[in-house]
Amino acid sequence: MGVKNSRHLDFSGMSLICNGIRVNADKAGEHGTELTGTEIVYLDGLTPGTVTASKAVVVDSSSAIAGFTNIELDGPAGTGTATAGLLELNTAETTVVALDQLGRIDFAAPLEASGTDAILVAGSIWAEAEGTFTASVNTTALVFATGSSEAAAEKVRISSGGKLSVLGPNAHIAVRREIIADGANVILTEGQSGGYVNMDLTTGSLTTLPEITSLNIGMTFDFCWSASWASGSQKIICTTGDFMLGSIIKFDTDTLTDPLAVEAYNGSTHLAVLIDAATDGGLIGSHLTFTAISATQWSIEGVLRHTGGVTASASTT
């Protein structure tokens, strides 16, 4: 071992065996930072830009890293609007113009043994500039791409203005409506508008429609009987101040002679549909639709199937 100067040692030609060393001491008396043998192993043999088990991670010359298996992002503790785990994707572009991607996530199976299409990017999500950015403009669309037998291509786009576009020769939107269970005391909410109420009880039930306001006109609910009424009272009722307006068809399943009747709801006193007899309706296959057409009125239409003659189901209570 040779001494090059008072602060540096030359170990050339020698094997140094130690479990830990101290580095980064600038003057006599300083202990510096200790590197243990385990820590040195983490650094030995690493390849910048790649991930290797039990090794340190170092970005490559392009500040890139590839090969992570799982990444968990934990946000700060707390409630309310505090941000949870955050993944921020940015572009380094200083002049953003239309079609520039601000960030992108790709999904693929690059090790799939079948090769060819199987290893292409099968799905992508990216944010795409819709125009040139300025101090007052950052119009951006969110794009969803999927693949079938090719690299993922755009299928769905949400514009900066909220317009949803579905693309492709087989494009269509399939919406699964909320199925709302019938029950002894079901109170529907504005957020359930468009839902399907499954009238599957053979005994009594009570369903209350949401209160209509000037802001939720257009709400709609469908009631369909998947089981026939047998006993008790089935009632669909408005909240206080609302009324039912329109006409429904009563269909008598017992006769082929003049089996139809029409019942009107007047929109000023009729508050509910009440079924408490076989002649009121409620047999399997009955269906009613309610639509909020003003701040105080529900439009009612549909068919009530019944047996044994016909009696009124329009109720003022």
**pLDDT confidence band for 270 (50 / 70 / 90):** very high
The two structure tokens encoding residue 201: 């009880």
Quick check: is 71 in a domain? no
Quick check: is 270 in a domain? yes
Residue 82, pLDDT score: 66
- Rounded to the nearest integer, the mean pLDDT of the chain is 88
Residues 154 and 239 in one domain: no
Percent helix, strand, coil in the chain, to 5, is: 5, 35, 60
Determine the Cα–Cα distance for residues 95 and 102; give it in Å rounded to an integer: 11
Q: What tens digit of pLDDT does each residue of 47-68 get?
A: 888 888 888 888 888 888 888 8
Determine the Cα–Cα distance for residues 250 and 104; give it in Å rounded to an integer: 57
Strand 179-181 to 196-199 pairing: parallel
Residues 155 and 27 in one domain: no
Residues 204 and 162 in one domain: no
Residues 225 and 287 in one domain: yes
Determine the Cα–Cα distance for residues 186 and 270; give it in Å rounded to an integer: 20
Determine the Cα–Cα distance for residues 165 and 1; give it in Å rounded to an integer: 74
Q: Calculate mean pLDDT across residues 155-182.
A: 88
Quick check: is 9 in a domain? no
Domain holding 224, by residue range, is 179-315
Name the nearest CA neighbour of 224 among 207, 200, 203: 200
Q: Is 41 helix (H, G, I), strand (E, B) or coil?
A: helix
Q: Is 37 helix (H, G, I), strand (E, B) or coil?
A: helix
Residues 298 and 263 in one domain: yes
Residues 274 and 190 in one domain: yes
Residue 7, pLDDT score: 60
Quick check: is 68 in a domain? no
Name the nearest CA neighbour of 187 among 236, 245, 242: 236
Residues 31 and 105 in one domain: no
Determine the Cα–Cα distance for residues 124 and 89; give it in Å rounded to an integer: 14
Residue 75, pLDDT score: 77
Q: What tens digit of pLDDT does each residue of 210-259 get?
A: 999 999 999 999 999 999 999 999 999 999 999 999 999 999 998 876 67
Buried b / exposed e over 267-302, threshold 16 CB at 10 Å, is: beebbbbbbbbbbbbbbeebbbbbbbbeebbbbbeb
pTM: 0.57
Residue 170 has pLDDT above 60, yes or no: yes
Q: What tens digit of pLDDT does each residue of 71-109 get?
A: 887 777 766 666 677 889 999 999 999 999 999 999 999
Residue 68, pLDDT score: 82
Residues 311 and 203 in one domain: yes
Q: Which of 166, 189, 218 delimits the end of a domain? A: 166
Buried b / exposed e over 142-171, threshold 16 CB at 10 Å, is: ebbbebeeeebebbbbeeeeeeeeeeeeee
Residue 79, pLDDT score: 62
Count CA atoms closer than 13 A to 237's CA, side-chain side: 19
Number of domains making up the chain: 3
Residues 158 and 249 in one domain: no
Residue 177, pLDDT score: 85
